[in-house]
Amino acid sequence: MTKYRSIVILTGAGVSAESGVATFRDSGGLWEQHKIEDVATPEAYKRNPQLVQDFYNMRRRFLDTVEPNAAHDALAKLEKGYAGRVVVITQNVDDLHERAGTHNLIHMHGQHRQVFCTACDKTTGWQGDLSVDHICAFCRAIGTTRPDIVWFGEMPYYMEMIDDALAGCDLFLSIGTSGTVYPAAGFVSAVRRLGKAHTIEFNLDASDCSAQFHEHRHGPATQTVPDCVHQLLGEHP
């Protein structure tokens, strides 16, 4: 039986934590080691493009050393096996959801393995390091290509598509996010205002917006997410 017609899943850094990707705000997280204003704003890039490129080159390279975990796998299995609609909206810029096999995926904060040219606006897939004097393959401009990452102060991608998905869902799952960065932190309240979706939070602990969820599943995502997918697919683990 397909209990829910449309499932929207928001993921954050916690879904990739057990793959070895550092989260941002947990103890030892990325924002403890690097200042946001040095590496994750348009102003930082203008001031010191080399430092910003080095930071993202390091993070892009790191992706070669990690693999999707059981939570990514379970979500891919849900998309494949569920009779209703399933969409994953991720704040993560790693590629672990797609490597696990999720197709209906929205990268609202961009992706490490993509870059774009600020001169011609063309986006392209990217695997290696990016240099500050890179020549754009489309318009030949020099030094105008940057990581396709939504920095603080920039507008997240695909907001219209996301609003439509949130408005149409009857189950909203939020996995491994601290609920501190908007607009993603406001998705649960947007869904609650419409009043038709059940909402579940998956986290190690309570997050900043825990109180807004109907239900909580505390524990590592590699356990709680596969359990939930078993339930949704009507399987008995």
Q: Is 204 in the site for ligand OAD (CB under 6 A)?
A: yes
Q: Is 10 in the site for ligand OAD (CB under 6 A)?
A: no
Sole binder of ligand OAD in the list 8, 21, 86, 91 (CB under 6 A): 91
Contact 207, 222 (CB under 8 A): no
Catalytic (active site) residue 34: no
Stretch that binds ligand OAD, among 25-33, 136-144, 166-174, 228-236 (CB under 6 A): 25-33
How far is residue 122 from each of residues 4, 6, 46, 138, 139, measured CA to CA in Å?
38, 33, 19, 7, 9
Residue 212 CB, nearest distance to ligand OAD (Å)?
14
Site for ligand OAD in 117-146 (CB under 6 A): none
* Beta bridge partner(s), residue 8: 87, 172
Sole binder of ligand OAD in the list 76, 207, 212, 228 (CB under 6 A): 207
Query: Cis link prior to 183 (omega < 30° from 0)?
Result: yes
Q: Is 68 in the site for ligand OAD (CB under 6 A)?
A: no
- Which structure tokens are listed for 224? 């709680």
Contact 130, 56 (CB under 8 A): yes
The DSSP H or E segment spanning 90 is strand 85-90
Q: Name the residues that contact ligand OAD, by CB under 6 A.
A: 12-14, 17-18, 23-26, 29, 40, 91, 109, 150, 176-178, 180-181, 202-205, 207, 220-221
Active site residue ranges: 109
